Homo-oligomer: A and B are copies of this chain.
Amino acid sequence: MEAIEQRIKEQGDKVRSLKSSKADKDVITAEVAALNELKAELKALTVNDPSAAPADKPAKADDKKGKGGFTLKNAKGTKDYTPQEMAVREKIFSTIIGVFKKHGGITIDTPVFELKEILSGKYGEDSKLIYDLEDQGGEKCSLRYDLTVPFARFLAMNGKEYQNIKRYHIAKVYRRDQPAMTKGRMREFFQCDFDIAGTYDSMIPDSECLRVLSECLTALGLGDFTIKINHRKILDGIFEVCGVPEDKIRTISSAVDKLDKLPWADVRKEMTEDKGLDPKAADLIGEYVLLKGGAELLERLYADAKLGTNARAKEGLDDMTTLFKYLDVLNVTRHVSFDLSLARGLDYYTGLIYEAVLEGSAPPTLANGEKARATVKKGTDELDESTVGVGSVAAGGRYDNLVGMFSGVNKKGQPNLVIPCVGISIGVERVFSILMQKQKKEQIKSNEVEVYVVGLGGVSVEARMKICTELWDAGIKAEFAYKLKPRTQNQWDACDRDMIPFAVIVGGDEIEKGLIKIKDMRSKDESQKGGIEYPRTEMIAEIQRRLAEL
């Protein structure tokens, strides 16, 4: 707790200094956001979350218990979704699923927990973030960390039937990470994956994945975006010709991956000082990985004396040549940037890799004209991303060997089953944060009620219930007040609060005459304030006519 208070103090000083030096407005906004996030973290620590102390320090849960002996809160890093939030979340999901289905996607579901050994050895260092279930006798199980490994397990188990499948899966995954709730980094969060499994000709499914990603981001209305692409074999070729030892390739690769958040000097330092790479090799790497562009960059790389003759790089360059041809046909080239600094963290990628970034979330420009870069948090090796926007909103790539890891090996030591895969994962939590910020909570309609049945002049609850029953029987979404004698104003208020478009009004006299009134709640026409009278027998037809016009 003291550490965070110290950071709040430092951050406050930083903001004050920026303000007094009249720094760029975007920079100040970003730093204020970072300050607010720290404050929110502190609040969570003190108000809600006795266990937000470092994970190795057991929580003193009793400290914060109310008089009832209860700590009334969500588990750390998890949250409830309110009806308004659910409305936004479901809109996002249905938009994305619509695109997936347009491309022939079908869905599967796998359990929330897997045998522990299924997840072992798949996530490298991040394995420490896996949630284990308590050993209550029986099998050792863990909560899923992503949807990709369970998908590979599913294919290995059912591969004969699903050698070729375009599957999507939207579901929650679990990571014992340090949550940063204000930025949507949670311990329970949704992943949204679309993968094409099967043995096909080079780059055809890969290019369709980029088209699917591009359609999703466009349909979500997130503004302009760039899909950075690169190829693991080109990267491996670069490391090879620059003299990186084979056993250092993955660790040097993950240093390169930080180039979107740190300047080259910092990355070079990590390579040489932390990871022991020869400074000459680092400088050679720097000449390649800072390159970016379009298809024209391919020619330059083919022509490069060293890289152009490297077998691994050559394979990657050939793939990229094919890819760019298809991307033109698919109309997505304009969204794509060939970026040699993109490396992606996960070990299992074997070919094309990509990551989508929203233009609106690019880092702000600093006073010296450079883009703001993330800094490493004091006393940790964690990046402070608070000044570099939301970062990537989607990512993915080709992973041809993951299914084989589950299928066992034959006598020759080869996997029993190989199913090459390529896929995308959309960061729906980030999309959710962005879209929630764009609208006012009060203006989100979370219910779909079409008609509210209003009773006037002491009409009975049975009479209102009867009207509702008729509406329900006709498939119309309707509600009435659950009171014997509801106040008139409360009924109008319910219509307004829930943004219900129509009211059916029943009054004492009219009901005996077989009449009801229908009122358009959105109309400002004073002459129709009391509604328009219809014979009860025409109510359903009239409501249906009006709903069809909505």
Task: Please report A residues at the B interface, Cβ cutoff 8 Å.
Answer: 51, 54-59, 61, 66-68, 70-76, 78-83, 86-87, 89-90, 101-115, 117, 131-141, 143, 153-154, 156-158, 161, 165, 167, 172, 174, 176, 188, 196, 198, 200-201, 204-205, 207-208, 211, 215, 325-326, 329-331, 406-409, 416, 446-449, 461-462, 465-466, 469, 472-473, 475-479, 482-484, 498
Q: Pick the contact of A67: B74, B207, B409 (CB < 8 A).
A: B409
Q: Is the CB of A141 within 8 A of B68?
A: no
Closest 3 A/B residue pairs (Cβ):
A68-B408, A78-B111, A200-B482
A181 and B466 CA atoms in complex are apart in Å by 43
Q: Is the CB of B447 within 8 A of A106?
A: yes
A216 and B409 CA atoms in complex are apart in Å by 49
A109 and B170 CA atoms in complex are apart in Å by 15
Q: Is the CB of B139 within 8 A of A462?
A: no
- How far apart are A538's CB and chain B's nearest CB, in angstroms? 21
Q: Which of A325, A469, A472, A482 has its CB near the most chain B CB atoms (within 10 A)?
A: A482
A174 and B143 CA atoms in complex are apart in Å by 12
A52 and B180 CA atoms in complex are apart in Å by 40
Q: Is the CB of A449 within 8 A of B104?
A: yes
| Also in contact, A472 and B102, with CB within 8 A (given A55-B138, A136-B132) | yes
Q: Is the CB of B111 within 8 A of A86?
A: no
**Can you name the residue of chain B whose Cβ is closest to the Cβ of A139?**
B51
A88 and B356 CA atoms in complex are apart in Å by 34
Q: Is the CB of A156 within 8 A of B72?
A: yes
Q: Pick the contact of A137: B57, B110, B465 (CB < 8 A).
A: B57
Q: Pick the contact of A51: B138, B158, B462 (CB < 8 A).
A: B138
A101 and B448 CA atoms in complex are apart in Å by 6
Taking A104-B478, A112-B112 as known contacts, 9 extra A-B pairs with beta carbons closer than 8 A to each other, sorted by chain A number, are: A68-B408, A68-B416, A74-B111, A75-B114, A80-B108, A83-B108, A103-B479, A132-B134, A329-B469
A56 and B137 CA atoms in complex are apart in Å by 5
A477 and B51 CA atoms in complex are apart in Å by 49
Q: Is the CB of A200 within 8 A of B483?
A: yes
Q: Pick the contact of A465: B132, B153, B200, B330 (CB < 8 A).
A: B330
- How far apart are A543's CB and chain B's nearest CB, in angstroms? 13
A114 and B74 CA atoms in complex are apart in Å by 6
A141 and B80 CA atoms in complex are apart in Å by 16
Residues of B within 8 A of A74 (CB): 110-111, 114-115
Q: Is the CB of A165 within 8 A of B477?
A: no
Q: Is the CB of B137 within 8 A of A58?
A: yes
Q: Which of A141, A211, A325 has its CB near the most chain B CB atoms (within 10 A)?
A: A141
Q: Pick the contact of A469: B105, B109, B201, B330 (CB < 8 A).
A: B330
**Can you name the residue of chain B whose Cβ is closest to the Cβ of A84?**
B106
**Can you name the residue of chain B whose Cβ is closest to the Cβ of A404?**
B68
Q: Is the CB of B104 within 8 A of A59?
A: no
Q: Pick the contact of A81: B70, B109, B472, B484 (CB < 8 A).
A: B109
Residues of B within 8 A of A114 (CB): 74-75
| Also in contact, A472 and B211, with CB within 8 A (given A165-B83, A408-B70, A477-B102) | yes
Q: Is the CB of A68 within 8 A of B139?
A: no
A416 and B325 CA atoms in complex are apart in Å by 67
Q: Is the CB of A112 within 8 A of B82?
A: no
Q: Pick the contact of A110: B51, B55, B80, B105 (CB < 8 A).
A: B80
A112 and B75 CA atoms in complex are apart in Å by 10
| Also in contact, A138 and B83, with CB within 8 A (given A133-B133, A330-B469, A472-B103) | no
| Also in contact, A115 and B71, with CB within 8 A (given A138-B76, A330-B469) | yes
A75 and B112 CA atoms in complex are apart in Å by 10
- How far apart are A488's CB and chain B's nearest CB, in angstroms? 16
A157 and B477 CA atoms in complex are apart in Å by 29
Residues of B within 8 A of A132 (CB): 133-134, 136
Residues of B within 8 A of A86 (CB): 106-109
- How far apart are A260's CB and chain B's nearest CB, in angstroms? 30
Residues of B within 8 A of A83 (CB): 106-108, 165, 167
Q: Pick the contact of A326: B115, B447, B465 (CB < 8 A).
A: B465
Q: Pick the contact of A201: B58, B153, B205, B482 (CB < 8 A).
A: B482
**Can you name the residue of chain B whose Cβ is closest to the Cβ of A49?**
B139
Residues of B within 8 A of A167 (CB): 83
- How far apart are A280's CB and chain B's nearest CB, in angstroms? 41
